[in-house]
Structure 1
């Protein structure tokens, strides 16, 4: 994968670990903070559903 060509935000790909802490707030796209928060919530919900399915208490 050519990150410069395929990645929508090349500066994000080069950002490293600090982007997760500061980049979404101070970067050129401050609304990414809301997107990241929504994604984190969706991942937690998906994980909880998977755990419920594994235990057998679907509801």
Structure 2
């Protein structure tokens, strides 16, 4: 009986350890999110800056 419990416990621990190792780290997820965010918002930001420069007659540095 003890051997069975030990075997089951080792199998469960083995699976739980490998599952956590396969998960991406929080830092990697943050970096991936930031890259996706910049890819989406970068062109929008540039368009808004150019609109500010043209409509408000301000220098680009001020619009940024």
Give yes or no for TM over 0.5. Answer: no
Scaled by the length of structure 1, what TM-score is found? 0.39
> Which of structures 1 and 2 has the bigger CA Rg?
2
Greater RCO between the two (CA within 8 Å, min separation 6)?
2
Q: Where is the helix percentage greater, Structure 1 or Structure 2?
A: 2
Scaled by the length of structure 2, what TM-score is found? 0.36
